[in-house]
Amino acid sequence: MIGRLNHVAIAVPDLKAAAALYGGTLGAKVSAPIAQPKHGVTVIFVELPNTKIELLHPLGDESPIAGFLARNPSGGIHHVCYEVDDILAARDRLKASGARVLGDGEPKIGAHDKPVLFLHPKDFLGTLIELEQA
């Protein structure tokens, strides 16, 4: 069911400093900051030959990553995103297996203008999983 690794997301306390680290020290191609108010984050994409890194910083008072950063003030890997061919079929199969789909269970449009869903980290080895429709 899961396919390509679409991205690994890192929650960061300082987006500008994180972009300088990836774009300068690590010599990667980084995007400008992109506000994603519907997701409560500002994102910078780091383009790699085989996948992407998403640098995330909270946006607004209701950011879903604020708690994570409070627990991990230096930042940390926040989630991994796998591609699926059919996100609704994947959702239904996962729900039938007892996995918790976060939110109202309906896919939302993510940062790559594709439908995305999130699965509870406690059901997947302490790892927050995002599924993105390929």
Ligand X SMILES: CC[C@H](C(=O)O)C(=O)SCCNC(=O)CCNC(=O)[C@H](O)C(C)(C)COP(=O)(O)OP(=O)(O)OC[C@H]1O[C@@H](n2cnc3c(N)ncnc32)[C@H](O)[C@@H]1OP(=O)(O)O
User: For residues 121 and 65, what is the distance between their CA atoms, to the nearest angstrom?
Assistant: 13
Q: Which x/- pattern, by CB under 5 A, does the window 14-53 give for Co ion? A: ----------------------------------------
Cβ-based nearer residue to Co ion, 5 or 24: 5
- Residue 36 interface partner, choices ligand X, Co ion, none, CB cut-off 5-8 Å depending on type: ligand X
83 in active site = no
What is the bridge-based pairing of β-strands 52-58 and 5-11?
parallel
- Residue 122 interface partner, choices Co ion, ligand X, none, CB cut-off 5-8 Å depending on type: ligand X
SS3 96: helix
**Interface residue list for ligand X (CB under 6 A):** 9, 36, 39, 41, 43, 54, 56, 64-65, 67-68, 78-79, 81, 102, 110-111, 116, 118, 121-122, 126-128, 130
Percent composition of the chain: helix, strand, coil (DSSP 3-state, to 5): 20, 35, 40
What is the bridge-based pairing of β-strands 76-84 and 128-133?
parallel
In this structure, what DSSP letter does residue 31 have? -
HSE at residue 104, side-chain half, CA atoms within 13 A, is: 3
Q: Please pick, among 47, 54, 106, 130, the residue that the annotation labels catalytic.
A: 130
Q: Is 119 in the site for Co ion (CB under 5 A)?
A: no
Positions touching Co ion (CB under 5 A) are 9, 81, 130
Catalytic residues: 130
